[in-house]
């Protein structure tokens, strides 16, 4: 969800205003994704690297996430969206952790769509943690190291039951993966747009889906469409 800061700067506004408008884009994209029948949507809201941003911005973002959960809880539940999170959740402010836990529990009862928010997330860390968990099992004899394969690693990531993303959208023209879902994105189609995240709404999301639909996906094989 890149470009919130630049969006604000262009308008002479504080960066946090960009994040606030970005939260409106989250709502718009959630609506569009539901309309299009997208079952899983993962948003990279805060990376492990983002902690080094100015204290005010970090606090403002954490606050904004809490406000979002409070304000749109009804909308999330009504639309049968299940909230899940991935990352170092224990590093988040305690009140935000509580809000997230409550909504995760409530929204898990009856859902059709899944919204995953990556918070204090880093993909290398996720993979390292998976390696640690596998090593522990091997050391205790629970698992034979010779049987470790791709499936074993995938099963030890944060959300092993979530399918790999088919499409990765990056806004504001950045051409990097920035430590996001490195394992899971192996076969994903990449879509980059120059639009800043606060301006990325329904129309832009449908354009991304349209571009995705034009691609011939091969998974290393030959083109079939």
Active site residues: 2, 50
What are the tokens at 51? 């902690």
* Residue 115 or 134 with smaller CB distance to ligand FPP: 115
Q: Can residue 19 be called a binding residue for ligand FPP (CB under 6 A)?
A: yes
- According to the binding rule CB under 6 A, does residue 16 interact with ligand FPP? no
- From the list 38-46, 125-133, 148-156, 206-214, the region that binds ligand FPP by CB under 6 A is 38-46
Q: Binding segment for ligand FPP among 34-42, 57-65, 131-139, 176-184 (CB under 6 A)?
A: 57-65
Kindly report the length of the chain. 225
Instruction: Identify whether the C-beta of residue 98 lies closer than 8 Å to the C-beta of residue 57.
Output: no
Task: Supply the DSSP string of 90-146, one letter for each residue.
Answer: GGS-HHHHHHHHHHHHHHTSS-SEEEEEEEEE-HHHHHHHHHHHHHHHHHHTSS-GG
Question: Is residue 83 a contact point for ligand FPP (CB under 6 A)?
Answer: no
- Most distant CA pair in the chain, distance: 60
The reply on whether position 117 binds ligand FPP by CB under 6 A is yes
State the binding string over 160-179 for ligand FPP (x if CB under 6 A, else -). ------------x-------
Up-side HSE of residue 123: CA atoms within 13 Å toward CB? 12
Round to whole Å and give the CA distance between 61 and 51.
Answer: 11
Q: Is residue 45 a contact residue for ligand FPP (CB under 6 A)?
A: yes
Contacts of 222 (CB under 8 A, 6+ apart): none
- The verdict on 62 binding ligand FPP (CB under 6 A) reads no
Applying CB under 6 A, does 65 fall inside the site for ligand FPP?
Answer: yes
Which residues contact ligand FPP by CB under 6 A?
1-6, 19, 22-23, 26, 43, 45-46, 50, 61, 64-65, 68, 117, 172
């Amino acid at each position: 969800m890149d470009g919130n800061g630049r969006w604000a700067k262009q308008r002479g506004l504080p960066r946090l205003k960009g994040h606030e408008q970005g939260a409106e884009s989250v709502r718009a994209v959630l609506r569009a994704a539901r309309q299009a029948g997208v079952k899983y949507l993962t948003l990279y809201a805060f990376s492990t690297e983002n902690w080094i941003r100015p204290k005010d911005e970090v606090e403002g973002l954490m606050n904004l996430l809490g406000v979002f959960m409070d304000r749109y809880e009804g909308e999330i539940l009504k639309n049968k969206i299940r909230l899940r999170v991935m990352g170092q959740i224990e590093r988040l402010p305690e009140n935000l952790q509580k809000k997230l836990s409550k909504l995760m529990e409530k929204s898990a009862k009856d859902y059709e769509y899944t919204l995953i928010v990556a918070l204090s997330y880093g993909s290398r860390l996720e993979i390292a943690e998976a390696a640690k968990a596998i090593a522990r099992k091997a050391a205790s004899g629970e698992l034979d190291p010779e049987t470790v394969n791709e499936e074993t690693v995938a099963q030890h990531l944060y959300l092993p039951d979530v399918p790999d993303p088919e499409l990765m959208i990056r806004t504001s023209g950045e051409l990097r993966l920035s430590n996001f879902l490195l394992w899971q994105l192996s076969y994903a189609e990449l879509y980059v747009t120059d639009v800043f995240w606060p301006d990325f709404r329904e129309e832009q999301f449908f354009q991304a889906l349209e571009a995705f639909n034009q691609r011939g996906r091969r998974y290393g094989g030959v083109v079939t469409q």
